[in-house]
Structure formats: structure tokens, C-alpha cells
Chains A and B, each alone.
Chain A
Amino acid sequence: MTPLRYARAVDAQDAVLQATTGATYLGGGTNLVDLMRETIERPEKLVDVSGLAVGVEETENGGLMIGAGTRNTAIAAHPLVRQRYPVLARAILAGASAQIRNMATAGGNLLQRTRCAYFYDESGSRCNKRQPGQGCDALGGFNRNHAILGASDACVAVHPSDMAVALASLDAVVHTRTSKGERQIALTELHRLPGDHPDIETVLEPGELVTGISLPPALPRSTYRKVRDRSSYAFALVSVAGAIDLADGHIRDVRLALGGVAPRPWRAYRAEDVLRGGPIGKVAFAAAADAELSHAQALRDNGFKIELARRTIVAVLDELTGDPA
């Protein structure tokens, strides 16, 4: 770890002022500090924002506002989240471990970085994300966990968050602040696809602070399903967040997002388009999954993810349209 300075921000404005060149915001530190130990991140200064914007509140339109500093555990345990947004509670609880969730903040979770082994191997592997133009060792190496959607020749890494996948399915909006003012970004627009510049991972400007995440009112039913290599404490191979509104035996509205398959939380618009207004049933669900995955591309080790994603999408839709448990 490179020596650095540490400062705790007293409020959002202070945080933005302190975030000068070379500074990085610190949430719970569960990802950032690991990356600093590996010398992948070398901030000169940490601005601790974990104490800012803590809490979950109901908004006027019947949605929720989640402060960026709210711990993952607190979000998952919040009664309104559990009642109205089970997809979010389940996604959070499916991630990491209890100890990590107790530390991790909402903002940090969104902005956590990929777990690609070659990205992590600072001294021994090439990575375009870490060092632009260096090359990508994951392409011809271990890529069982890597992307089947949205990747590029420069980078095939996936975004590892579970929570962000649920948020993508909920039409969440990210609230940010810079010294120039505040803005709102659709969560699905927050992360960039890698293209030629996998090192630029989000649309955030340097020093832009995430202050909160707002959710519109929920669809009546939602859930999250995560498929992984062990029962707990493993990143998703494939995950599916789904929310649905049924009327008279057809699908009035639906939102689907996929995790573990793409460089960002992957909103499955193609599948939604097939489903919206259409009938309930395995045939329609499979057609929707196929529509979404028709552009999927397999690497050396991850071809199984295409079939796995297809099956998991269908299973989640089955669950959401079946008898409520």
C-alpha cells in the first residue's frame, strides 16, 4: 500500500471540496482498501464519506431515497425495502458476507471494481483496465467468470455487484454532486461499456460524489436469483433481477436485469420488449431469454453462461408469475 493522507468529510460539500486531484472517496473500504493493498489503486488521499448520507427514506411519489453512505446490511433490513423491493433486499443478502455487508456502503457497492483475476494481478498480468493499452490476459486465460454480453476486445471483465443488478431492474436513479452542482444519472447509464477504454468505468467525472440512490415506486412483484459455485460467499456466475406487473393473464409491465454476465449491471431491454403486453408462459419466457442472449458471445471457459442465463431468466419469470408463495 502506498502512503497516503486520510480525511473525513463532514458533509457532501466538504467532501467535494476535499476531493482534489489524486484523492479518492472511501466508503466502507471493503473493495478500495483491498485494491490499495494490491497497489492497483494508489490514491494520494482518501476522503472518507462513509458517514455521510446515511439512511433510507420514503419519497413523496411513493419511492425510496437511499443515502450513499447507508450500509448494505441496513438497506437490506429496512422494512420498506423488504416489503416493496424484495429484489433489492435479496440481492444484497446474496452478496459477500455478513461482515462485508456491515461495512459496505451503497455508493461503494455501485462503484466496486471487477474481480477479474488478471485485473487483480498487478505485478504478473496484463490488463487494459489497470494500464490502458497493455493488453488483456483474460482473453486467452481463465475467463469462466467473464462477460458474455457487452464486452470488447480490450476487456471481458464483469461488474461484480449483486445490489446494482437489482437497482438496474428497479429503474434506480443515482444522485451525484460535484463542485459545479448536482445531477441525476439513470443507474443503467452509470457504468460504461468497455469499448476501447475499459479503464474508464463510469460516466462520473473526477471527484464526482455519489450522494444517494432513488427508486421509483415498485412493481407489485419482484425477486432476485443468484447462481454461484458455492452456497454463499461467491460472486454470481449468473444472476437475474426481475420485477413484474400482471394483469388479466398477461404481462402489463416487466423489468429484468442480469448480473455476472456483462461489464455493467445488464438491463435486459430486449427480453422486456418481448414480454411486455404479452402472455405468461414458458414459451414466451424462453423467447424473451433468447432475444436477450442472441448477441451473447462465449469465451474459452464461459460458454455455459449462455444456457445458464437462459434457464435462470425463465425460472425467475416462472417464479414471478406463479402463485405467490
Chain B
Amino acid sequence: MSIAKDAKGLAQGMAQSLMAKAVALAPDNWVPGGVPDPLIGRQHGHLGRAVSRIDGPLKVSGTARFAADFPMSDMVYAAIVFSTIAKGRIVRLDTVRALAADGVVEVMTYRNAPRLAPPPAFMSDPKAAGGDSLPVMQDDQVHWNGQPVAVVLAQTQEQANHAASLVDVTYESAPAVTAFEDARANARPAMFMGQPLHDEKGKAKAALDASAVRIDATYRTPRHNHNAIELHAVTVTWQDDVLRIHDASQLVSHTAWSLGQMFGIPEDKVIVTSPYVGGGFGGKCMWQHHVLAAAAAQLCGRPVRLVLSREGVYRLVGGRSLTEQQVSLGADADGRLKALIQRGLTAKTPSNVMPEPFILAARSSYAAETIELDVHTVELDLLANTFMRAPGESVGTFALESAMDELAEALNIDPIELRIRNEPEVDPLNGLPFSSRRIVDAWRAGAQAFGWERRSVVPASRREGEWLIGMGCAKGTYPYYRMPGGAARLTLTPKGASVGIAAHEMGMGTATAQVQVTAERLGLPIEAVDFEYGASTLPGPVLAGGSQQTAAIGAAVIAAHRLLIKELLGIIGNDSPLAGLKPDHVACRDSGLCKRDDPERHETYASILARAGQNSIEVVGEGPPPLELMHWSMHSHAAMFCEARVNAITGEPRVSRFLGSFDCGRILNPKTATSQFRGGIIMGLGLALMEESQIDERNGRVMNPSLSAYHVPVHMDVPEIDVIWTDIPDPHTPMGARGIGEIGITGTAAAVANAIYNATGKRVRDLPITLDKLL
């Protein structure tokens, strides 16, 4: 599926010339002047092969154990009672009937819950995992509509559910701000990860006013809820003084640390494991259910299983916040951007630090002469919002890339051509060179594969029967991230190697891809490599977020690999063919080490270990600080193409074809990558056409907390989705790869909206694009 086989670029050639068949050590940092990871140039090994998921057989046979599958003796089941007011306090909480119900063991409320410190809110500390910083069941205060106010524990789930319906709560409401409009006047500048969400280059307003052609429009995106198919669940027990949690998590170590803080115990007394996760997307972080289950287990002295109902997920797991974005573009007659302004509002709560950062994509998208980007936030008394697949870019590209389409039309320039004309040479804001940016290749290959030349320039000019047909495109983008601090344990035995790292497999194929990478790096067959992950007891931590796991694990394994080679050479003795060699002189090949420029001088790992009388070697390496991010502007891109059909009578919008053409560095496993890309695009179709959390502004209550009322695409909404990619490695990342988990959802909504415009001549600027907006 590579679309640029002949254009693999300098990086690869460079790397290839460095090595024969053996794999040398990778660099220990990524800074200018350094060598690329030797794996970048590997052509016929494990990398780039469509290896099926190693966890596939376990999942299809139902033997993979998810958080709610772990049996424990003497376990009780929990059911939560949720508040029904947005703000105020509990004045009466009657648990008598619930306690008397069959099978009920205990009812936990703020009155009898163990005393706990408040949760450390995500981003307030490197290992903080909490969705917000509100105390969990510690007092009579209610902070949002849906806050847990009681937890019923019973012998069976059904008994717990029933008894929960018998808990009687009376509230005294306090004034709450639950309507966006009511909060608008109190907007404040937004901070994201310690930085202001504000950028300026030149005088954008003045440049806009002076531009020959201008676009100025407001775009709106609604709230979204997380809907991973696996419900959030924990099975929890206290074993002596150790808190043991079977979790569905994308940050096990963070959760262990954070719970330790709350319960006042060291983080190594909290063991969080999460071998399989049925979808994360930013939603499987630490929310109140973890805390409530652990507290309840302490209170009743028995293991507790807490599985949120679907409604429960909507009531206590945050989702994506709404945005109102104003985009102004000014261009000269040739379409060169003179001004790019994207600014607007989003909502958060007083107790979290997550403004939906919708300007991120605009920071590096286009070579505008002047740029002004800004996010302001208002605070509402709702459940805290959080990260959801490509926070920022997913909804930010909807506005920016819709506006680019509007500009293309105003200029009468092909929308792809307009984007290519505005391709920057260097990062438009910070001036850094790009580590690798081949979006133009992706545009051209995508346009050809999709048949873009068949698009009618005149909107509403193609019709088949009742259906108006149109094509649209948009650019997706997602940055390369690598968070500091990831460490990996590498264990070598005569049989092979095993990697241990507190990383996560949420169905993306992480374990599979990392086994491929490690096998390649060590010159081992795939079957000889084991990947241990998803446990807070392992070295790490590696957060499964920001599409950064691949790079973070890659860098940690590289560091461990260097240590391993050093250790091996240290025990090698004088009789080895490798005697006297230094780490930089050797390489890995055929289950052993060889001299780099003389691969025949070789000894297997098994033989080295045997001669030294050792059964294994174990090292822990820590990935270097992500210096590459200081030297290059690092971003993936996607050219998204959509064909949409809109029923001329009923307005029903349907997507009939979609193609994503990606530039994401080297693709490690085309099979799992395809699924990631497609899954992201499908989620993007939902974002474009149907997803919306309906929060009643009168009382802040989610009114569609079920998959029947909250629409996501069903099979019939999803057409054949083509995905292609440049496969051009990024010379400045481990393996030449950049993460691919989130980019699929970016650009997609704009491509759909632009296709709908082309089909109908109607520009819909607020999502979701439902039929009433097209009548």
C-alpha cells in the first residue's frame, strides 16, 4: 500500500548505507547531526509486515480477561446512585430500604466512606490521573448532575442495582451555571499543559483587513461522550496493605500513583493491571469508579467489582467539550494566505485543567504571513470534560479545513491546490525545520486514487435519482509526541527476549507492533519475543495517549538495547569470536551478536549466556528526554477525501466513499495501522454526522446516556474506506515512525462537510450535520 516506494527519501538511504543485514545500535538521542535509527532502513524483516495481532486468538476465543472478568472469592458487586441536581447539597440520604434489600452488604455514602485526599487532576503532576480534583464522596456537596452520591454493595449485580433504586436522596439546589450562554461573559484565556493557548505572528487583524479575499465564519462543535464498547470496569481487592486493581486503563502507573496519593499509601502498594482494554480514546483514565470501588472494598472488607452501566459512563466519565470557533482567512488573489485567525471559546469546569485545544492544528498547518490563534474558556457546573481522540485537532480541523474550502471557492482555486500553495517551508510559528513533511505526496496520491478530477467544481450539479452527490477534501494533522520518562526492562534468555514496560494495549496492536520492532532490533524471530505490559509494577510509565506509545516504547527499548549489548560484551570472555569488541562495533543478527562490518564474526545469545554460565540478563533502560521535539517541528498529516450523498427530498446525508492518504512516517504493521486509520475515520464520520451529547442546559443533565439515543455510525453508515500512506520514515524518530492512533479522526469531519457543500451548495458550520440542517 505504499504510495511512494520510489521516494523513500534521504533518511532511508542514509540509514541503509550504514548497515548490511545486521542491526546496529540506535542513537541514544535524536538531535541534529545524529544518525537515524538503523531500523528505519530495514526492508525485508519484521517491520512493515502485516503481522496479525498476537492477542487476536485470545480475543476471538473469549479467553482474554478484561477488567470485569477476573473472578475473586467473596466478591461483592457495586451499583452507583447518581445525583439529579447540578449543584447544591444532600439534605437527606435514606439508605434504610436499600440496606434491608436482599443480598445487600453495605451502602457507602459520604457519611461512612473512608477519608480520602482529593484526586490529583491530570496534568497537575507527571503521574496525576484524575479526571478532576473534586473530593470523592467525602461530603454532602454536589458538583454536577450525575455525581455519585451512594454506592450499594450486594451479593449479585442485580441485587445491587435494585437496592440502588431504593436509596432515597433529597437535595437542596444551589444556583448552577449549566448553560453556555450564561457563562459566555466570564471567558478567560486558556492554558493547556502549562502553556497559554494563544499564538501570534505579525499583525493578523490588519493583514486580514488588507487581504484581497477574505473568509470569516463561525463553526460550532457539540459535546461528545466516550463510548468505548467495553464499559469502564474495575475488580478491586485489598490484600493486606496492598490495593490490587484489575482495571481497564490507558495509564496504569499514573492510576497507581494517584490512588496512592488519595489513600495515603506508597504507589508501590497499589498494583494496577490492565492487560486488555476494549477501547480507550482518552476515556479510560482515572475517574470516580476507581476510587469508589477501592474505598468500598476497604469499607466492607471484601473484593468489589464495579462495572459502570452505559448510563454510568455518561454520568461520571468526561467527554469532549463543545467549541465555538471563529476562523478568518485572508489571501491574495493567488491564494497565498496573508492572515490566519482561529479563535474562540470552549467550556470546562472549575475543577479540571483541560480546555479543548482546538487551535493546535492551525499552529503548523499553513504558511500564513500572519497568524493569530486563541482559546478562551468558560466554566460550567458540569462533569469535567476530558481528552477524546485527537483532542483539539479533531474539532479544530473541522473549522480550519472548512474555512479553507470556503476560501478555495471564493478564490476559484482547487481546494487541494490552495493547500499545497500554502505549504510552509518551516514551522510557521516557531521557525523550526520539519522532521519530515510529505503531505504534498499524500495529496497527489490521494487525489489520484480517489478520482478527485471527477469532482464537479460547481456545487449541487451532480445528481443520481433523489441523491445529490459531491466530493470534498480536507487536511488532517496530528503531532508527534514523546513524553519524557518511559523506561523498559529487557530480559534476554537462551530462548529469546522479553520486553517489560508499563504501556498499554487498548486494541490498537501495540503489543504486536512492539514485538515486531524488538525482534528486528535483536535479530530474533517474532516467536522468540515476549511483550509484557499493562501493569503498574513494570518499568515505565508510558501513557497511552497523544499517539505517543509507539515512540515512547521504541525509545525506551533502544535505551535498554544499548545496556543489554554492553552487558553481553561484558560477559563475553576471550574465547568468543566477538572478543574485544566495543558496543559500537557490534550489531544484532540471527539470534546473536556479530561484528558490524564483518557479520560472519557471530555468536548466538544462547552461546554467550551458556559460556558465561548465566540463564539470563536483565537490564532496564530509560528513553532519553525527547530532545527531538526541540529541534524539529514534528507532525503527521493526512489528505482526506470524501464522497457524500444528500437526499434532495429528505436531506439525509450519507457518506458513500472515503479515502485517507497518510503521511505518518514509517508504518510498522500495515494491518494494525489500517485498522487504526479506518477506526479514526469512522469516528470522524460520527463526529461529522451524528455524535452529540445532549446536556439539558436547565439542569446540566445528560439526556441521551445510551447507545440507542446517542448516535454513532452503524455498519450501514460506513462505506468502504480506502487508506494509503507515504511510508516515508521520519529520520528523527525511533523506527522512523510517528503515532497513528488519532490522526484518522482529524480532517474527516471537514472532508464530509466540504463534500456535503459540494453536493448541495449548503455550508453547514455546526456539527453534527443532521438532515434538518440540509432541508
Report A's interface with B, CB cutoff 8 A. Answer: 1-3, 37, 39, 115, 117-118, 120-121, 123-125, 137, 140-142, 144, 227-234, 237-238, 304, 307-308, 311-312, 314-315
Contact = CB atoms under 8 A, between A and B. Distances in A.
Interface in B686-734: 689-690, 694, 696, 698-699, 701, 703-704, 708-709, 711, 713-717
A72 B519 CA distance: 54
Interface stretch (B217-225, B647-655, B676-684): B647-655
Contacts of B714: 230-233
25 contacts: A1-B161, A3-B102, A39-B165, A115-B709, A117-B703, A120-B709, A121-B703, A123-B82, A124-B84, A124-B145, A124-B699, A142-B704, A227-B650, A227-B652, A229-B770, A231-B716, A231-B717, A232-B716, A304-B771, A308-B775, A311-B649, A312-B649, A312-B650, A315-B649, A315-B650
Contact of A123 (B84, B696, B715): B84
Contacts of B84: 123-124
A237 B775 contact: no
B240 interface: no
Interface of B: 82, 84, 102, 145, 158, 161-162, 165, 466, 649-652, 654, 689-690, 694, 696, 698-699, 701, 703-704, 708-709, 711, 713-717, 770-772, 775
Interface of B is mostly: loop
Contact of A304 (B689, B698, B703, B775): B775
Given A117-B704, A232-B715, 4 more contacts: A2-B162, A141-B698, A142-B703, A311-B650
B771 A237 contact: yes
A253 B712 CA distance: 41
Contacts of B703: 117-118, 121, 125, 141-142
A304 B709 contact: no
B162 A3 contact: yes
A179 B709 CA distance: 39
Contacts of A125: 701, 703
Contacts of A118: 703
Given A308-B771, A312-B649, A234 B711 contact: yes
Given A229-B771, A308-B651, A1 B158 contact: yes
A142 B696 contact: yes
A232 B704 CA distance: 18
Interface of A is mostly: loop
Nearest to A301: B772
Contacts of B654: 231
Nearest to B773: A304
Nearest to B650: A227
Given A39-B165, A117-B709, A232-B714, A141 B650 contact: no
A227 B771 contact: yes
A168 B715 CA distance: 30
B703 to A, nearest CB: 4
A274 to B, nearest CB: 20
A26 B287 CA distance: 38
Nearest to B709: A117
B775 A142 contact: no
A230 B161 contact: no
Contacts of A124: 84, 145, 699, 701
Contacts of B158: 1
B775 A229 contact: no
A230 B711 contact: yes
B769 to A, nearest CB: 11
Contacts of A117: 694, 703-704, 709
A125 B690 CA distance: 24
B162 A1 contact: yes
**Closest 5 pairs (CB-CB, A-B):** A231-B716, A304-B772, A124-B84, A117-B703, A232-B716
Contacts of B708: 115
Contacts of A227: 650, 652, 771
A255 B698 CA distance: 42
Contacts of A233: 714
Given A117-B709, A315-B649, A230 B772 contact: no
Contacts of A137: 696, 698
A118 B771 CA distance: 23
Given A1-B158, A142-B694, A307 B775 contact: yes
Nearest to A231: B716
A239 to B, nearest CB: 11
Nearest to B165: A39
A307 B774 CA distance: 12
Given A229-B690, A230-B690, A234-B711, A140 B650 contact: no
A140 B82 CA distance: 23
A37 B161 CA distance: 9
Contact of A140 (B694, B698, B771): B698
Contacts of B716: 230-232
B612 to A, nearest CB: 61
Contacts of A232: 714-717
Nearest to B701: A124
A48 B739 CA distance: 54
Nearest to A140: B698
A228 B770 CA distance: 9
Contacts of B694: 117, 142
